[in-house]
């Protein structure tokens, strides 16, 4: 049972990596919060990407740290 669950998780993440690769997220040289976050969320979303999910992360309005 544990081996099957591991296989499902690996397959899920592999599909997510494929979706991120097809969208060109690994080709961009721009490294910022939004691009890294979008790539990670796309990988975690896995097969949901092929069912219409298009996760996007926007980091323009980050909260300021308290003093």
Count the neighbouring beta carbons within 10 Å of the beta carbon of residue 13: 13
Question: What is the three-class DSSP state of 14?
Answer: helix
Which pLDDT score is estimated for 7? 95
**Whether the predicted model's global pTM rises above the 0.75 cut:** no
CB 59 within 8 A of CB 33: yes
pLDDT, greater one: 65 or 38: 38
- Find the mean pLDDT for residues 46-59: 78
């Amino acid at each position: 049972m544990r081996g099957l669950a591991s296989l499902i998780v690996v397959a899920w993440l592999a599909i997510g990596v494929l979706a991120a690769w097809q969208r060109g997220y690994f080709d961009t040289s721009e490294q910022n919060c939004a691009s890294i976050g979008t790539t990670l969320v796309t990988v975690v979303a896995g097969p949901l990407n092929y069912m219409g999910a298009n996760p996007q992360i926007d980091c323009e309005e980050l909260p300021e740290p308290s003093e």
